[in-house]
Structures are given as structure tokens and as C-alpha cells.
């Protein structure tokens, strides 16, 4: 009973500050939205790089020579095992400086997120490849296809379709992970909201706005991949008879 009064006061205070908060958000919004474009480029770039590396890694891990499989298993272990922040610093402040490579924080963000994503995506694709019936490869070989052709024309087109739900997951994880690149100074959503918040002392509204932007981006991306899944669906094919 007793603490109701202060709580009520706090609530009133928050209401009083509402217009002020709204103004702070409105002022910062264009700046934050520009950041969301940076975020999206980083995420889409990383997903693309992760795909370009992850698909061959998956094929290698399923069909490759035992030595190659071993190597890929180590690769996956390596990139899944090191925390993102450690990796970003290692690459940007460590490797780039040591080897005197001049890469922008933005580029490093895409490369590092892409490398990590390739490890995760390879496992998504590997699962899809393994879930295909063995007969698909046999039938392709029986026609005289080389393994390379069988994988390119028969296995991957089916495996990639099955991978879209996993991708959706990967997208939302990448989106959130991209906020960590703020530590390198990439001008994405998080960096910009932090910048405005510390200058205007409007912490609550600005991080709130950042959160909402992330939610909208997650929603839009997941929705887009859902549509892709629907479009790529094989007619008549319904795994659970639905």
C-alpha cells in the first residue's frame, strides 16, 4: 500500500516527460533510420558472404574427402566458438594493424559477421542436404551425372529450399549481432542511438526507439523470407500432409 504513492508519482513524471521524449525520438529519427540502412547493408552483406562460403562448406562436409571434412569441422568450431566482440577486435585492431591492412570498420564488420555466419549457415545447409533421400543422388548418378553436376542441379536446389526457415533464424541473429559492431565505430543503429543519447541525456526514448527499429527490421526480414519460402515451395509437396 505504502509504496503505491511514489510509484504513482514516478508514473506521473514519466507521463509529464512524454512530449519531451517524443520530441527527442522525432529529432533523432532520420539519423537513426540512416543507421538502419547501415545495419541492413552489414546484415545482408554478411548473409551473402556467409552463403557464398557456407554452401560449399556444407557440400564439402557432407561429400568431401575425410581430410576436407576434418578441416571444415575445425573451421566451424573456430568461427562458432569465439565471441563476436573478441573476433571484431582481433580482426580490426589486431590483424589489420599487424599486417598493415587498411580496411574500414564497416568492411571488417561485414567480413567478420560473414565468416561467423558461414559457419552457422554451413550447418543449416548440411542438415538440409542430409535430410534429402539418398535416392536423389543415386538417380542423378544413374543418369551419368558427375557428383558435381548431381550436387549443383539436384541436391542443392532442394536443400536450399529446405534451408529457408533456418535462414530466417540466421537473419534475426545477424541483425542483433550487428549491433555489436558499434564497438568498432560502425555507424549503425546502436552507435547512433548511443551517440544521441549521451549528448541529449534522453537515454530511455532513444534506446527504446533503437529497440523498435530492430523489431521492425526483424519482422520485415522474417516476413520476406516467409514469402520466399512460399514462392519456392514445390507444388503438391507438403511434408506433413497439411
Q: Does 189 bind another protein (CB under 8 A)?
A: no
Report the residue number, 30 or 133, with the smaller CB distance to another protein: 133
Q: Does 112 bind another protein (CB under 8 A)?
A: no
Per-residue three-class SS string for the chain: CCCHHHHHHHHHHHHHHHHHHHHHHHHHHHHHHHHHHHHHHHHHHHHHHHHHHHHHHHHHHHHCCHHHHHHHHHHHHHHHHCCHHHHHHHHHHHHHHHCCCCCCHHHHHHHHHHHHHHHHHHHHHHHHHHHCCHHHHHHHHHCCCCHHHHHHHHHHHHHHHHHHHHHHHHHHHHHHHHHHHHHHCCCCHHHHHHHHHHHHCCHHHHHHHHHHHHHHHHHHHHHHHHHHHHHHCCCCCCCCCC
Q: Does 142 bind another protein (CB under 8 A)?
A: yes
Q: Does 194 bind another protein (CB under 8 A)?
A: no
Q: Does 55 bind another protein (CB under 8 A)?
A: no
The single residue among 144, 230, 231, 242 that binds another protein, judged by CB under 8 A, is: 144
Q: Does 130 bind another protein (CB under 8 A)?
A: no
The single residue among 41, 145, 183, 228 that binds another protein, judged by CB under 8 A, is: 145
Q: Which of residues 153-182 bind another protein (CB under 8 A)?
A: 153-154, 157-158, 161
Q: Does 141 bind another protein (CB under 8 A)?
A: yes
Q: Does 97 bind another protein (CB under 8 A)?
A: no
Q: Does 228 bind another protein (CB under 8 A)?
A: no
Q: Does 236 bind another protein (CB under 8 A)?
A: yes
- Contacts with another protein, residue ranges (CB under 8 A): 133, 135-136, 138-146, 149, 153-154, 157-158, 161, 234-238
Amino acid at each position: 500500500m505504502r509504496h503505491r504513492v511514489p510509484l504513482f508519482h514516478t508514473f506521473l513524471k514519466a507521463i509529464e516527460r512524454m512530449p519531451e521524449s517524443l520530441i527527442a525520438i522525432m529529432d533523432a529519427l532520420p539519423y537513426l533510420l540512416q543507421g538502419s540502412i547501415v545495419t541492413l547493408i552489414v546484415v545482408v552483406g554478411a548473409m551473402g558472404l556467409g552463403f557464398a562460403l557456407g554452401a560449399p562448406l556444407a557440400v564439402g562436409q557432407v561429400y568431401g574427402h575425410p581430410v576436407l571434412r576434418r578441416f571444415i569441422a575445425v573451421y566451424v568450431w573456430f568461427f562458432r566458438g569465439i565471441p563476436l566482440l573478441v573476433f571484431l577486435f582481433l580482426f580490426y585492431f589486431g590483424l589489420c594493424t599487424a599486417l598493415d591492412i587498411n580496411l574500414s570498420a564497416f568492411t571488417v564488420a561485414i567480413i567478420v559477421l560473414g565468416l561467423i555466419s558461414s559457419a552457422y549457415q554451413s550447418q543449416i545447409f548440411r542438415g538440409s542436404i542430409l535430410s534429402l533421400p539418398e535416392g536423389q543422388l543415386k538417380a542423378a548418378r544413374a543418369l551419368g551425372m558427375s557428383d558435381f553436376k548431381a550436387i549443383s542441379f539436384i541436391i542443392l536446389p532442394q536443400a536450399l529450399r529446405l534451408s529457408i526457415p533456418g535462414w530466417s533464424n540466421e537473419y534475426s541473429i545477424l541483425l542483433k549481432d550487428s549491433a555489436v559492431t558499434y564497438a568498432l565505430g560502425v555507424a549503425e543503429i546502436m552507435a547512433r542511438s548511443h551517440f544521441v543519447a549521451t549528448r541529449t541525456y534522453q537515454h530511455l526514448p532513444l534506446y527504446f526507439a533503437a529497440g523498435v527499429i530492430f523489431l521492425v527490421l526483424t519482422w520485415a526480414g522474417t516476413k520476406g523470407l516467409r514469402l520466399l519460402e512460399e514462392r519456392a515451395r514445390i507444388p503438391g509437396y507438403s511434408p506433413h500432409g497439411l
